[in-house]
Amino acid sequence: MDFFEHQEQAKGSSTRLVILFGLAVVALTAILYLSIAATLVYVTREEGEAALSLWNPELLFWVVLGNSLVIGCGSLLKILELRGDGGKIAQMLGGRLVHPETKDPAEQRLMNVVEEMAIASGVTMPEVYVLKDRSINAFAAGSNPSEAVIGVTTGCMHLLSRDELQAVMAHEFSHILNGDMRLNIRLMGLLNGILGLAIIGRILLEFTSREEKNPLPLLGVLLLILGGAGLFFGKWIKSAVSRQREYLADASAVQFTRNPEAMTGALKKIGGLASGGRIQHAHAEEASHLFFENGLTSRLGSIMSTHPPLADRIRRIDPQFDGNFPQITFEPTVSVVDQEPQLDLTQESHSPDFMQSAVMAGMMMGGSRMAWNPDQAVQAAGKPGQVQLQYAEALIQKLDLDLHAATHDPFGAQALVFAMLLSKETDWHTQQLEALEQQSSPELVREIKLLHPKVAAMDPRAKLPAVDLAIPSLKQLSPSQFNTFSSNLRWLVESDQQIDLFEYALQKVLERHLKSHFEETSSATDAYHSLIPLLPHCRLLISGFAHIGHTDPAAISHAFQHGTAGLGEHGKKLQLLDNADCGLGEMDQAIDHLNQATLTLRKKVVDCLAHTVGADGEVTLQEAELLRAFADALGCPIPPFVNGPQKPSNT
């Protein structure tokens, strides 16, 4: 199952979830109406008045309206409260944001593991929170990968080995990639809506009166009972959905790390720890389905558990598990040796296993060309493997310490981005710095000057991953600071009257992951379920990619035909656009339209672009990174393209 199937499965689960909750709301409304109607019939008969009928359209209208408003508003308010930044959920659970430059050895190791996972999976670096709890647990939260955060307990951070911690983080990243986070937020919202019935019932019970005929306490009791019953069935639905997603995340994590012993080791330690994965926090129940392991002890057994039994999860990975858990005690220590694995980049890059397991070409030195398999490009989306993880570990180890530190600070992150965009021409470079000093501050320009020599010597493969690592720091800018940063970024990109592919890819990445954080943007909707109305936009994008990297008209035409072949009969009717008609600005507009298509259609478009750039069987770093930037803009994160031997360019 690939990234797109996982996403569709999560979407299907979300749809089924809404249907089940809808049926539960209908059942609650019917029971509430019948209870009130029956009470009114009974009261009128007792008082000798004309007996009312159980069928009362006016009463039914008010019951349906009231119930819908209570549950609907309660759900909507909770979803709106939690949407966007997952940090809201982490803070709700008492989480503390970990600073990337932390001096704590355990936190340093945690941050290093998360950075590796982010680079390997092709998603932006999430913020990391620590929950002060001795249990072993973790979670991922956020409405989309751009706003995701990772949370871990102190027990998880201290009691697991580095490999085990890496396996747990791979599990959480699989939730990010599989579309589970938005589903989890909807679960919390819908349960909060049903909880509203019980809350109103409790309020009505307080309106006691000496009048014998006061109906409010009776209605309050009824709402409490119905709200409690609704919560029971709602939690049962939540648990059933969550258990299946946990099995999937375990399997994805093992596929990611290729280290099943690390995953089973983490699960066994949870089973052997007295507190297990139980979270001691008032909001633990509300967020129980988010955790790596069940954060609560259910008195009703597995039927209400949000996670499968530990032994079952282990046996799915290790069928020989005997069911015995080692006894674990909380000892908050981290070995310095265990903290940072030292990798030899030269040896690693020439390892036969590393070379043979490479998926495709792409991350390489600028100006080179490599073999390219476009059929595997889309298949890699959302499916990072050990080769990408090894690559990420090596890349971070090789990254200059000052550049790495710059990604961890809002000020340094801005300077790093600007240093990457400075012109290579000395005169124009000086003019850019002078203009930046007037538009921003002398301090920022001094930092840019310090970083620029290191950026100039930087491996081209590390530039966009470094930008991904810097995004959490850039999110810490104030709105006014972000506006200044954005205007300076735009000016730097456009100041030399030309935009190269790296500048455009960098701009797309930052826009994708920062704009929604600082500005209210409407989320993409599935407005298009057919390619036919999108064909002009597909034509424009494929034409643009065909012109990239080619100057020979025959090669451009061949690349265009290779790309449009993925559109079937529709593609045969499309004509190549002139280079002037498919500039980067026009391609931006096409992306905006395509983002309103279903994920299946977007997958087809990304596949067409991959075949376009790989029509000649080779690809450059710039082409590969541009493809990743466009795929990311379409909501299809692709891991780094890693390959072994590189073939020098003839150009």
Which residue has better confidence, 341 or 107?
Answer: 107
- Do 413 and 479 lie in a common domain? yes
Q: Let me know whether 445 and 497 are in one domain.
A: yes
User: Token pair for residue 536?
Assistant: 């002009």
Predicted pLDDT at 553: 92
Give the range of the structural domain holding residue 540, as residue numbers without chain letter.
Answer: 360-384+523-633
Classify 151 as helix, strand or coil.
Answer: strand
Among the ranges 53-67, 181-195, 354-368, which has the highest mean pLDDT value? 53-67
Residue 645 lies in a domain: no
H helices of 519-650, where?
535-547, 553-564, 569-572, 584-594, 599-613, 621-633
Residue at 117: amino acid letter? M
With tokens 């994160």, the residue in question is 637
Last residue of a domain, one of 471, 488, 518: 518
Question: 516 pLDDT band (50/70/90 cuts)?
Answer: confident
- Which pLDDT does position 211 carry in this prediction? 53
In the predicted structure, residue 310 carries a pLDDT above the cut 70: yes
Query: Are 194 and 120 members of one domain?
Result: no
Q: Is 548 strand, coil or helix?
A: coil
Higher pLDDT, 381 or 268: 268
Claim to verify: residue 416 and residue 558 sit in the same structural domain? no
Residue 334 lies in a domain: no
Question: Do both 132 and 108 map to the same domain?
Answer: yes
Answer for the pair 388, 258: CB distance below 8 angstroms, yes or no. no
pLDDT of residue 47: 62
Q: Where are the strands (E) in 347-490, listed by range? A: 370-371
What integer best gives the mean pLDDT of the chain?
81
Number of domains observed in the structure of the chain: 4
Better-scored residue on pLDDT, 178 or 499: 178
Residue 320: pLDDT band with limits 50, 70, 90: very high
Residue 347 falls inside a structural domain: no
In a domain, 472, yes or no: yes
**In terms of DSSP bridges, do strands 127-131 and 149-153 run parallel, antiparallel, or are they unpaired?**
parallel
* Whole-angstrom distance, CA of residue 40 vs CA of residue 51: 9
Pull the structure tokens for residue 551: 């100057």
Q: Say whether pLDDT at 143 is over 90.
A: no
- Say how far residue 413 (Cα) sits from the centre of its chain: 21
Question: How high is the pLDDT of residue 354?
Answer: 32
Q: What are the pLDDT digits (tens) for 500-512?
A: 778 888 888 898 8
pLDDT of 566 strictly over 70: yes
User: What's the CA dihedral at 342, 346, 347, 350 to 10 degrees?
Assistant: 140
pLDDT greater at residue 50 or residue 353: 50
Predicted confidence (pLDDT) per residue in 153-168, tens digit: 999 999 999 999 999 9
What amino acid positions are annotated as catalytic residues?
172
pLDDT value at residue 368 = 57
Of the listed ranges 521-525, 551-555, 567-571, the least confidently predicted one is: 521-525
pLDDT, residue 352, reads 34
Secondary structure letter of residue 128 according to DSSP: E
What global pTM score does this model have?
0.78
| Residues 592 and 609 occupy one common structural domain | yes
Is residue 528 helix, strand or coil? strand
Q: What is the pLDDT of residues 438-487, one digit of tens each?
A: 888 889 999 999 999 999 998 888 898 999 999 999 999 999 999 999 99
pLDDT tens digits along 383-436: 788 888 888 998 898 899 999 999 999 999 999 999 999 988 877 888 888 888
pLDDT at residue 289 is higher than 70 = yes
Report the alpha-carbon distance of residue 630 to residue 588 in Å, rounded. 9
pLDDT score for 651: 35
Count, residues in the chain:
651
For residue range 220-268, list pLDDT tens digits in order.
787 788 777 777 777 777 777 777 778 888 888 888 888 999 999 999 9
Inter-axis angle of helices 410-421 and 501-518, nearest 10: 150
Residue 429: inside a domain: yes
Whether residue 142 is predicted with pLDDT greater than 70 in this model: the reply is yes
User: Do residue 139 and residue 281 come from a single domain?
Assistant: yes
Nearest to 284 by CA among 274, 276, 294: 294
What is the three-state SS of 402-414? HHHHHCCCHHHHH
Measured CA to CA, the distance from residue 209 to residue 226 in angstroms comes to: 23
Nearest one of 556, 468, 482, 493 to 517, comparing CA atoms: 482
- Helices 501-518 and 621-633: crossing angle, nearest 10°? 20
The rounded distance, in Å, linking the Cα atoms of 584 and 541 is 9
Q: Are residues 197 and 245 in the same domain?
A: no
| Residues 6-35: tens digit of each pLDDT | 555 555 655 676 677 778 778 888 888 888
Q: Let me know if residue 529 belongs to a domain.
A: yes
Question: Is 650 within a domain?
Answer: no
Neighbours of 433 (CB within 10 A): 17
In terms of average pLDDT, the best of 91-105, 182-196, 506-520, 596-610 is 91-105
CA 116 to chain centroid, in Å, comes to 15
Rg (CA), the chain: 28
- Same domain (yes/no): 92, 72: no
* Residue 523 DSSP code: P
Q: Which of 459, 494, 518 is the last residue of a domain?
A: 518
Whether the CB-CB separation of 228 and 198 falls below 8 Å is answered with yes
Task: Answer whether 128's CB lies under 8 Å from 152's CB.
Answer: yes
Give the number of C-alpha atoms closer than 13 A to the C-alpha of residue 187, restricted to the C-beta side: 29
CA distance 122 to 146: 11
Listed residues 473, 498, 518: the one ending a domain: 518
DSSP states of 306-370? SS--HHHHHHHH-TT--S----B-------HHHHS----HHHHHT-HHHHHT---S-S--TT-BE
**Contact call for residues 476 and 514 (beta carbons, < 8 A):** no
One domain for residues 425 and 496? yes
For the chain, the straight-line distance linking the first and the last C-alpha, in angstroms and rounded, comes to 39
- Alpha carbon of 430 to those of 339, 427, 434: distances in Å? 42, 5, 6
- Torsion, Cα 539 544 549 554, to 10 degrees, reads 50
Neighbours of 203 (CB within 10 A): 12
298 pLDDT more than 50: yes
* Residue 291 sits in the same domain as residue 210: no
Both tokens assigned to 170: 């791979």
CB 12 within 8 A of CB 185: no
Tell me if 340 is assigned to some domain.
no
- Residue 38 confidence (pLDDT): 81
Whether residues 407 and 475 fall in one domain: yes
Q: What local confidence, expressed as pLDDT, does residue 358 receive?
A: 32
At 534-552, the pLDDT tens digits run: 999 999 999 999 998 778 8
